[in-house]
Amino acid sequence: MDLTIVVPTYNERSNITTLVREIQSIVEPKLKYEILFIDDSTDGTPQVLDRLIQQFSQVRYIHRENKRGLASAVVEGFQASTGTYIIVMDADLQHPPRLIPLILERLRTAEVVIPSRFINGGSDGGLNVMRKFVSWTARMIGRLSIKRLRNISDCTSGYFGLHRKVIEDVKLEPIGWKILMEVLVKGKHRTVHELPYMFAARSMGKSKMSLMEQWNYLLHVARLVRCNHDDLRFFLFCIIGFAGMLVNMLGLTTLINLFRVEGVAASVGASAFAMIHNYVLNDRITWKGYQKTKIWGRALQLSRFMSICSIGILITALIVQAFLSLGWSIYIGQFIGIVTATFWNFSANNQWTWSVDSGLKPKLIVTQEYSRETH
């Protein structure tokens, strides 16, 4: 079998006949393919699928009695598929079947292909303002939290294609609805290609979006962060950094009130103590197991750590000064400065203080094409 098109369905009886006919009309007759529906419906969708099986030899479906979520449906579709290539799409006609031949063509050279709404020629016009905001927020949370997603414009897409080898012997345990993120983080692949598409407005049926699905998405991101050492290190670094701020303030109060140290001396002393506190915790927790050296080596590590963090303080001060010179808010400048310095401190310490080789997986090669999609 050349291609399996996996379509998870939940109460989509009004759309699936149109979807199958559109796929039939655009797929090359010589192509050996199947349309595999994983159905959790409680309406008359199975009856419609029974009729479609009689009309089209390429259609088959698995009906699950208890709804277990879109992502788990896709995973079951992966397991039941027989195609060398797999394309995942929704049944609600918002993912244009017209792109299937192009996705398949791009899969000859890329291991994962993602139609993107957010590159030149793409559009998310099928969403209302609130859904656009929710989608943007979810996408940004994923890209900021997980390093492997940062160069991918539409990492939360429900429309994508992949080579079977990407998921072979990979344990996929998604929560909720964003299965693509699970594939991108855990899959065995090095190349991702994005092509533009215009997300269509839903014509029939109801959206399955809910607050519970949003909560499941956050849980899914947290799980993916936890299973990836690079991403988990960054979050541990931020938590320890926040604890260091509290230690800094406690040290400052102690030096001023108990030891009668004043002004800049108290500030420098408190900052130095906080840096030592942060170094010890980062060495024991964040970078546990990296470069266990003797006393003199640890002293060198500490000096590197403090030097890097001092540059971070300078970065924050320069950004604040730039904001003040432009007449902008010092608080916004301080916030941007802290965020920038945090990324600097983590990256520099990861590379120089503990010399971590982050290449547990090869770096992704992400390519994009910028041509207007016809629809």
Average confidence score pLDDT of the chain: 88
User: What is the C-alpha separation between 174 and 20, in angstroms, rounded?
Assistant: 27
% of the chain surpassing 70 pLDDT = 92
Digit-coded pLDDT (tens) for 257-315: 998 887 778 887 888 888 899 999 999 999 987 765 677 888 888 899 999 999 998 99
pTM, two decimals, is: 0.79
Domain boundaries, the chain: 3-227, 230-353
pLDDT above 70 (res 316): yes
- pLDDT value for 277: 93
User: What is the C-alpha separation between 163 and 107, in angstroms, rounded?
Assistant: 7
- pLDDT value for 267: 80
- pLDDT value for 207: 52
Cβ atoms of 10 and 70 within 8 Å: the answer is yes
Query: Which residues contact residue 170 at a Cβ distance below 8 angstroms, ignoring those fewer than 6 apart?
Result: 186, 187, 188
CATH dotted code for 3-227? 3.90.550.10
| Region class of 81: left (phi > 0), else alpha (psi between -120 and 50), else beta | beta
Cβ atoms of 217 and 263 within 8 Å: the answer is no
Q: Rounded to 5, what percent of the chain is helix, strand, coil?
A: 55, 10, 35
Q: What DSSP string describes 171-186?
A: -----TT-HHHHHHHH
What does DSSP assign to residue 82?
-
Count of other CB atoms within 10 angstroms of residue 359: 8
